Structure 1
Amino acid sequence: MKRLLAQVGIGALISFSAHAQAAYPDHPVRLVVGFAAGGSTDVVARIVANKLGALLGQPVVVENKAGAGGTIATDVVAKSPADGYTLLFGTSSHAINATLYKKLPYDPVNALVPVSVVAGVPMVLAVNPSVKANTARELVEDIKKNPGKYSYGSAGKGSAVHMAVELLQFQEHLKLTHVPFRGASQAIQSVISGDVQFITDAVSTAAPMIQSGRLKALAVTTATRSSVLPDVPTMKEAGYANYETSLWNMVMVPKGTPAPVIEKLSAALQTAVKDPEVRQRMEKIGVQPIVDSTPDKAARFVQAETRRWAEVIKAANIELD
């Protein structure tokens, strides 16, 4: 009899758990963003959250936890209940931070589970108009002839836009001076004023400055051209076959989140980024929707990105405490 009661109890528990997962979500979901409201990451997160909420039948509320290159937001999500109600809108910084920081308050490899990559944000290599180079090839060749002459700005040490230049420096054995700022807007202004010669920044941020003539675009960093800068060649077209990078956005959940919940979220996210209105809103600001990213694909992608940036960071001896 005791064994029968135990079996009945276990069966009821399994039934209750399955019902709870099937009913997911039954209240609002948090989407935590590691950067300030109004920035490119926040804008994309809100586009995704709006459609995701409609598909899930519950509001998806964006919550900004800015600071420390996204690590504050990541820590919040990593330590949240693994129930699918707290999601991280992760970025390239997640893969970079795994090596960049000596110590993190969470396990950068195992604390979170990827759900789907939802967007890629091309970056553009842009110079002050006074710089003579009109192509990426001309710029790189002049840097090689004049080691230490060129400086570039970034949104901060270890930021994705900083690492985009470090990748080029690593591959082409360049000698450059890095000038970090507190944000992308300050870094761009430093290029416009001529304090530094160039920057690699998100197309969504830099495009207005390029279109107004305050910056000169040389190349975009992705394999295909940007929809908002269609006349600007890619780095591969400029002759750098191995150079490709972008800012990316990935939804992640705490380790231990039930598989049915992850699968439901992934399916909803894939549907969301295929929506014509979502695609149009993303492409209008130069963001490329990623439409076929399953949890397995997303996991392999972030692993590859972590390995790649670890190689660059170690070679450049970059670290943050």
Structure 2
Amino acid sequence: MACSGAASGASSRVRRPGANTALATEALLRAPPDGHTLMTMPQFVPALPAVQRVSGFDVADLLPLAGTAQAPLVLVVPPRLGVADLPGFLALARTRGEALSFAHAGHAGVPNLAMALLAEATGIRPMGVAFRNTVQPLLSGDVDCAFGFLHDAVPQIRAGKLVGLAVTTPARSPLLPEIPCFAELGLPAVEIAAWFAVTVHRAVPPPLQARLIAAVEAVRPDPAVQDRLTAAGFAPFALDGAALQEFARRERDRHLALFARLGVTPE
């Protein structure tokens, strides 16, 4: 089995972190396309060449087969900011302009893209500051706001250390039922999540592709699996095969268009 952001052989699990998953992607695509090397691909990898110069592989050779999970986000602020809801936050953000700072984990990261979508929809202009994690800088007082993944943000919200303003899911999250989603606040464009899919080299034979999809489909509905994902801040992601590949294509195009509007170029 593969682990997130990693490629592995049939008999072992090998983490290949680093370079925005470029190392894991290269390991997958250099391995024999026999169905024994898999990758749990994050959603940004198909658009990776737009933000990072890569060589030695072509992301077009990646074939997502089965979705595993989504990681939604929540817009959070520290209590010291003095806002309790999204309208209050937007009013403050419009007043402070670029003096209002937000944490992100890189141009290709979903927290940065979520803030870009919010800025486009509302006209706010917060200043981004790069960190490895988007929640910790809020707790340490380094920034004013951030989009945080639920698994990082929920414990801090429940402890009263952060205030949750809106979630990026289509409906309210069961982990934060008291916090509205952006769509119900009139901002449906701010719907975004990280997603992950079991991915192989495109040259893997179709019969092996079908077996891998069936294996994920057999495990995914297990209540124990679903409960563990939900408790960890993830949501189900039950797309497979051609439907998943079309979804991944639309997501790639959405990311590329947003990068172009933001003026992001490969580094």
Scaled by the length of structure 2, the TM-score of the pair is: 0.92
Q: Which of the two has higher C-alpha Rg?
A: 1
Q: Give matches, 1:98-137, under 5 Å.
A: 98-108=49-59, 110-137=60-87
1:148 aligns with 2:98: yes
Which position in structure 2 is the counterpart of 1:74? 25
Q: List per-residue Cα deviations over 1:153-185 (Å, max 9, x = no partner).
A: 12334322222212222333331211101x22x
| Partners of 2:51 and 2:107 within 8 A in 1 | no
Tell me the CA shift for residue 259 of structure 1.
Answer: 0.3
1:102 and 1:294 map into 2 onto residues whose CA distance is: 29
Q: Is residue 128 of structure 2 the alignment partner of residue 178 of structure 1? A: yes
* Structure-2 change in CA distance of 1:197 and 1:96 (3 Å): farther
Task: Indicate the residue corresponding to 1:18 in structure 2.
Answer: none
**How many pairs are equivalent?**
267
Is the CA contact (8 Å cut-off) linking 2:117 and 2:189 kept in structure 1? no
Equivalence for 2:255: 309
Compared with structure 1, are the counterparts of its residues 33 and 151 closer, same or farther at alpha carbon in structure 2 (3 Å cutoff)?
same
Aligned residue for 1:306, secondary structure, equals helix
Q: Report sequence identity in percent.
A: 25
User: What are the superposed Cα offsets for residues 229-283 of structure 1, whole Å, 9 maximum, x if unpaired?
Assistant: 1211111122202220001111110120000111111111122111111111111
User: Per-residue deviation at 1:285?
Assistant: 1.3
**1:98 touches 1:306 (CA, 8 Å); kept in 2?**
no
Would the alpha carbon gap of residues 160 and 290 (structure 1) be closer, same or farther in structure 2, given more than 3 Å must change?
A: same
- SS of the counterpart of 2:135? helix
Residues 126, 215 of structure 1: 8 Å contact kept: yes
Amino acid corresponding to residue 56 of structure 2 in structure 1: P
Residues 203, 282 of structure 1: CA spacing in aligned structure 2 closer, same or farther, 3 A cutoff?
A: same
SS at the partner of 1:70?
Answer: helix
Residue 126 of structure 1 and its aligned partner are, at CA, apart by 0.4
Q: Which moved more, 1:311-320 or 1:89-98?
A: 89-98
Contact in 2 for aligned 1:148/1:175 (Cα 8 Å): yes
Cα deviation for residue 104 of structure 1 reads 4.3
Q: Distance in 2 between matches of 1:298 and 1:169?
A: 29
Q: CA distance change for structure 1 residues 180 and 90 in 2, over 3 Å: closer, same or farther?
A: same
Do the aligned partners of residues 171 and 71 (structure 1) sit closer, same or farther apart at CA in structure 2, a change above 3 Å counting? farther
> How much does 1:61 deviate?
4.1
RMSD: 2.2
Matches within 5 A, 1:260-271: 260-271=207-218
Residue 246 of structure 1 pairs with residue 246 of structure 2? no
Residue aligning to 2:112: 162
CA distances 1:189-234 after superposition (whole Å, capped 9, x unpaired): 2111222101101101111111111111111111122222121111
Aligned partners of 1:231 and 1:98: how far apart in 2? 39
Say which SS state the counterpart of residue 139 (structure 1) adopts. Answer: helix
Q: Shift in Å at residue 32 of structure 1?
A: 4.7
- 1:315 Cα deviation after fit: 0.8
TM-score of the superposition, structure 1-length normalised? 0.77
CA contact (8 A) 2:164 2:179 kept: yes
CA distance in 2, matches of 1:127, 1:62: 37
Confirm whether residue 299 of structure 1 aligns to residue 217 of structure 2. no
CA change 1:160–1:104 in 2 (3 A) is: farther
Q: Is the 8 A contact 2:72 2:169 kept in 1?
A: yes
Contact 2:110 2:192 in 1 (8 A): no
Change (3 A) 1:95 1:211: farther
